Amino acid sequence: TQWVYSFGAGRNEGRADMRNLLGGKGANLAEMASIGLPVPPGFTITTEVCTHYYANGEQYPGELQAQVRAALARVEDAVGLKFGDTDKPLLVSVRSGARVSMPGMMDTVLNLGLNDATVEGLARASGDERFAWDSYRRFIQMFGGVVLGVDHHRFEEIIEGVKLDRGVVEDTALTAADWKTVITGYKEAVQEATGKPFPQEPEAQLWAAIGAVFGSWMNQRAITYRRLHDIPAEWGTAVNVQAMVFGNMGEDCATGVCFTRDPSTGEDIFYGEYLVNAQGEDVVAGIRTPQPMSKLRAKPGERPMEDVMPAAYAELVRVRETLEKHYKDMQDIEFTVQQNKLYMLQTRNGKRTAAASLKIAVDMCREGLIDQSEAIKRVAPGSLDQLLHPTLDPKAPRKVLSKGLPASPGAACGVVVFSADEAELRAREGESVILVRVETSPEDIHGMHAARGILTTRGGMTSHAAVVARGMGRPCVAGAGGITVDYTAQALSAGGHIIRAGETITLDGATGEIFIGSVAMIEPQLSGDFAALMEWADKVRRMKVRANAETPLDAETARKFGAEGIGLCRTEHMFFDPERIGAVRQMIMAEHETGRRTALAKLLPFQRQDFHDLFRIMAGLPVTIRLLDPPLHEFLPHSDAEIAEVANSLGVDVALMQRRAADLSEANPMLGHRGCRLGISYPEIYEMQARAIFEAAVQVAKETGAAPVPEIMIPLVMTKRELDITRAQVDRMAAEVFAESGTTIEYLVGTMIELPRAALTANQIAESADFFSFGTNDLTQTVFGLSRDDAGKFLPSYVEKNILPKDPFVSLDVEGVGALVEIAAQKGRGVKPGLKLGICGEHGGDPASIQFCETVGLEYVSCSPYRVPVARLAAAQAAL
C-alpha cells in the first residue's frame, strides 16, 4: 500500500480531487505544484494511516517508516540539504490536514530538525546567526506547546522577561545572543513540565510530531468539532511534511495570508496581510501589526507589499490569477517569501460573507470562469435572506444584552415598547419602535406591523411572533429566555441590566442577539448582481414560487421579490383590524345563527375589499385563499378589562361575555374547534368568505377585463366528507354570485393536507379537491405530536443532543413528515393525475425542504414574501 505521497520538485503523486486520501492541504499542495506554482517539496502521509493507526491499537502500518524515509530522501535531494546534518541541515514543517479544515486540531510545527548542533549549521549555512537561533526558539516553542503539551504562557513569560531586560518591545529587536538566553529558559521550562530534556534527535522529533498530529484527531476539541459539524471519525487526518522556507531570514523575507478577492465584499481585489521578516504564526499572533497587500487598501502610514516587495508581489499577482483560473473560485492562500523568492504553502476555497458569495459568483460568471449553473450553485440560498434586510455594520461597536432564537432575519433598532397599541401610537409619531412581548398573539398584529422589530421571551421558531414577523419581513428575536419582561414596571431586565420603555435596543434577527443602545446598519441592495443571479435561477427552476401574504403591502413586497402568486392567504389575519374586530367578536358572541349572520354581514364588505385588492395586485397570478382556520377564542379579549370593554361596545352584559368566553376556551385549541370544523358548525362563516371572494373576483373581472382565478382552500380537513360539505357551501355561493352578477368566472376548490389522516386517505380526499397544499406546520405538529407553540422550550436541546438533526418546524423532516407528503402526493395523483400540489408551511422557504419538494414533484412552494428570493434560488439548485 502506498501510505506516503510526494509533492513538489517534479514529483507530484497527488491531485486536488484526492482530498479524501490526502486531506485538503496535502491534495492542494500537490495540485499547486503540478500546475507549476512554487511549492517547497514535501510529502503527505495519508488519512488511511490515521484510520489504520486507530484500528490497530495506535500502531502504524509496517511499511510506513520506510516510505517516510524514502520520501524524506527525495526532499533532501531536491533541496540539496540533509535532515539532521550539522552542516547543511534540512528543516521541515509538520502540519495536520483533514478533508475539511478543522480549527481546534493540532495544526503546525515549524523548523523541525533543529537541535543544539544543527542550529550552528543553519547559522553557518545562512550566514545569519540571529535567524538560526530565532528559528530554534520558535521550534522549541511550537513543538513544546503542540507536541509536548507545555503551557504556551510559560514560553511567553520567558520571552517577555528577556524583552523587558533588554528594554525592547518588538521580537525583531532581539539579537542572536538574546535568543540563546530565551532558548536556555525554554529548555528549562520543557524539562520542568515534562520531566525530560528537549528531544535532540531529529528523527525522533519527526515521529513525535507525526504521532501528535494523529493523536490530536482524538482530542476532545476535535471530537466536539466533528460532532458539531457532522464529520465522521473514520475520515481521519493526513500529515504533511514539507521542506521549510523562511520568511524570517531578513528584510527581503516575509510571510502572509490572503484571499484572491475581498472575502467580505467580494470585490476583485487582492486582500490580505503580510509581515516582513516573520514566520507564519506571527501574522495571526497579533504581536506585530501585519501590513496590507495592495496599495489600494493601504491606509496612510501602512506599508503595502506592493510597494515594499514589488517583485515578489508581482509574482504573487500572477499566482493569484493562475489559482483562480485553475480552481475557478476565490482562494484563501498562505505564502512565504524567502530572499525575494515566493513560495506557496497552502490554498483552499476561501470562506466569505453572503454579500461576497453573491458578488464573486456573478463576477466569475461574467469573467467566463464559471457558467450560470455553477454560479447558481455557488450561493447558499439561505444567505440571501441576509442581503434582503438591513444588517448590522460588522465594524460597528456593540454591547450584547442577551440572546434568543434568530426567528426572522434583519437588524432593527428602536425604542422599547411593551404593547401593540403603544407601538402603533409611537410609530405614528415617527418613532422607530421595538415591540417587546412575552409572546405575541393575533391581537398584536397592528403593533407588529408598526414596529421595526419584535422581541419575545417565550416561543420557538414557529411561534406566532416568528411566523408573522417573517411574513412581514420584520426582524424578530423570539424565545429570549434570559430576558424578564415586567409589563407593570414597563421594563425588561437581563444579566443585571434594566431597560425601560422608551430606551433604545437593537436586534439582530439573523443571529438572535439583542444589543443595548443603537448599532449602525447597512441597507440592502436588490439590483445589480442580486437581480442577475435571480434571473439565471428563474431560467432553470421547474417549481413556481408563491408567497404567503394577506395584506396589500405583503402582496406587493412578494411581487417585488418575484412571487408568482399567493400560495396562502390566511384570512384570519384580516380580522384583527380595529374596525373589524368588533364585528368579529360580535359574531363569536352571538349564540344563534341570526346574530352571527348580522355580524358577518358587517364583515363582508371588508373581506370583499381585501380580496379585491389582492386580486388587483396579483394581476392574474393565482391567489390561494384559505377560509377561516384558527380556534375562535383567539379573537376574544383576554383580560377582565378587555372583556368589559367589548361587552360594553356590544351592549351585552359582562357576565354573558365571560360565560361565552369560558365556553369557547379549550384545553387543546390546536386540536380543537378550528379549521373546517368551524365551517361545518357555522356554515355562514365560510359562506360569507366565499361570497366576498366571488364578488371581488367578479368586480375585478369587470374592472380589468381579466378574471382572476381564485383558489379557495379548506383548512384542517381530515375526511373527504368534511371537504364535500364545505365545498358544497362554496359552490352554492359561487352559483349565487354568478347569477346575481351575470358573470361567471373560473375557480378552484382545494384543501390543505395538514393532518396525518388526510395524507393517508388522500386518494379519497382528492376526489373532491382541485388541489392540495401541504400545511407542513400543522402536519409536523401532528406527526410528531409536538406543540408548535410550546416545543421551542426543549427542541433546541434535542438538536444539541443530536436526538433530532434539525428543528422539524424549520426544516422538513423528510423521513417522517416527508413520507406522508409523498404518500399523499402519490395517492392524490393516482386518483387525479393533474392534481395541483404545493406546500405553504414555513418549510416552503427552507432550502433543504425545497430540495425535497422538487423530488416529490410539487408544482410550487409558497413562503413568506422575504423568503421568495431564497426559494427561487433553492428551487433552481434543486432542479440542477
Q: Could you list the residues that contact ligand PEP (CB under 6 A)?
A: 568, 570, 629, 754, 775-778, 840-841
Q: What cell does 582 get?
A: 368588533
Q: Are 719 and 755 in contact (CB under 8 A)?
A: no
Task: Report the nearest approach of Mg ion to the CB of residue 754 (Å).
Answer: 5
Question: So which residues are the catalytic ones?
Answer: 464, 840
Is residue 775 a contact residue for Mg ion (CB under 5 A)? yes
Please choose which of Mg ion, ligand PEP, none residue 33 contacts, taking the beta carbon within 5 to 8 angstroms, the exact cut-off set by kind.
none
Phi and psi based region of residue 158 (left: phi greater than 0; alpha: psi -120 to 50; beta: remaining): alpha
| Minimum distance of ligand PEP from residue 715's CB (angstroms) | 7
What angle do helix axes 129-142 and 152-166 make, rounded to 10 degrees? 150
Instruction: Give CA–CA dist 70/68, Å, rounded.
Output: 5
Residue 631 is a binding residue for Mg ion (CB under 5 A): no
How far apart are the C-alpha atoms of 47 and 36, rounded to whole Å?
A: 25
For residue 521, the partner it binds in Mg ion, ligand PEP, none, with Cβ less than 5 to 8 A by kind, is none
Among 778, 807, 842, 846, binds Mg ion (CB under 5 A): 778
Of residues 728-757, those binding Mg ion (CB under 5 A): 754
Q: How far is the CB of 778 from ligand PEP (least distance, A)?
A: 3
Q: Which does 568 bind (CB under 5 to 8 A by kind): Mg ion, ligand PEP, none?
A: ligand PEP
CB count in 10 Å sphere of residue 490: 16
On whether 11 is known to bind a ligand per the annotation, the reply is no
Contact region with Mg ion (CB under 5 A), list: 323-331, 368-376, 636-644, 778-786: 778-786
26 binds, among ligand PEP, Mg ion, none (CB under 5 to 8 A by kind): none
Tell the smallest beta-carbon distance from residue 464 to ligand PEP (Å): 10
**Residue 111 annotated in ligand binding:** no
DSSP string of 579-600, one letter each residue: HHHHHHHHHHH-SSHHHHHHHH
The smaller minimum CB distance to ligand PEP, of residues 304 and 844, is found at 844
Rule CB under 5 A: is residue 550 a binding residue for Mg ion?
Answer: no
Interacting partner of 776 out of ligand PEP, Mg ion, none (Cβ under 5 to 8 A depending on kind): ligand PEP
74 is in an annotated binding site: no
DSSP H or E segment with residue 46:
none
Give the single-character DSSP code of 670: G
Question: Which of 101, 92, 342, 141 has the alpha carbon at shortest distance from 237?
Answer: 101
Q: Considering beta carbons, is residue 129 or 842 the nearer one to ligand PEP?
A: 842
Binding site annotation covers 626? yes
217: left (phi over 0), alpha (psi -120 to 50) or beta: alpha
CB 877 within 8 A of CB 377: yes
Closer to Mg ion by CB, 262 or 846: give it. 846
Please identify, using beta-carbon distances, which residue of 747 and 774 lies nearer to ligand PEP. 774
Q: How far is CA 699 from the centre of its chain?
A: 44
Our finding on whether 842 is near Mg ion (CB under 5 A) is no
Report which residue type is found at 196: K
From ligand PEP, Mg ion, none, interface partner of 455 (C-beta below 5 to 8 A by class): none
Specify the residue, 134 or 754, whose C-beta has the smaller distance to ligand PEP: 754
- Among ligand PEP, Mg ion, none, what does residue 570 contact (CB within 5–8 Å per kind)? ligand PEP
Smallest separation, CB 750 to ligand PEP (Å): 13
* Residue 248 is assigned to a ligand binding site: no
Task: Give the nearest distance from C-beta 590 to ligand PEP in angstroms.
Answer: 25
Alpha-carbon gap, residue 477 to 511, rounded angstroms: 8
Indicate the residue among 216 and 776 with the shorter CB distance to ligand PEP: 776
Residue 93 or 777 having the CB closest to ligand PEP: 777
Distances (CA, A) of 210 to 6, 205, 459, 832: 16, 9, 50, 64
Cα–Cα distances in Å, from 58 out to 143, 224, 773?
21, 21, 56
Residue 402 contact partner, candidates ligand PEP, Mg ion, none, CB within 5 to 8 A by sort of partner:
none
Q: Is 705 known as a binding-site position?
A: no
- Residue 665, Ramachandran bin (φ over 0: left; ψ between -120 and 50: alpha; else beta): beta
**8 A C-beta contact, residue 793 and residue 439:** no
Task: Please tell me whether 366 is known to bind a ligand.
Answer: no
Smaller CB separation from ligand PEP, 737 or 753: 753
Q: How far is the CB of 777 from ligand PEP (least distance, A)?
A: 3
CA distances from 527 to 6, 387, 535, 560 (A): 48, 11, 11, 11
In whole angstroms, how large is the CA radius of gyration of the chain?
A: 34
Kindly list the distances between the CA atom of residue 224 and the CA atoms of 20, 55, 102, 235, 805, in Å, as whole numbers in the listed order: 21, 20, 11, 15, 16
Residue of this chain nearest to Mg ion (CB atom): 778
DSSP code of 840?
-
Least distance between ligand PEP and beta carbon 843 (Å): 8
List residues forming the annotated binding site: 570, 626, 754, 775-778
List residues forming the annotated binding site for Mg(2+): 754, 778
Binding site for Mg ion (CB under 5 A): 754, 775, 778
List residues forming the annotated binding site for substrate: 570, 626, 754, 775-778
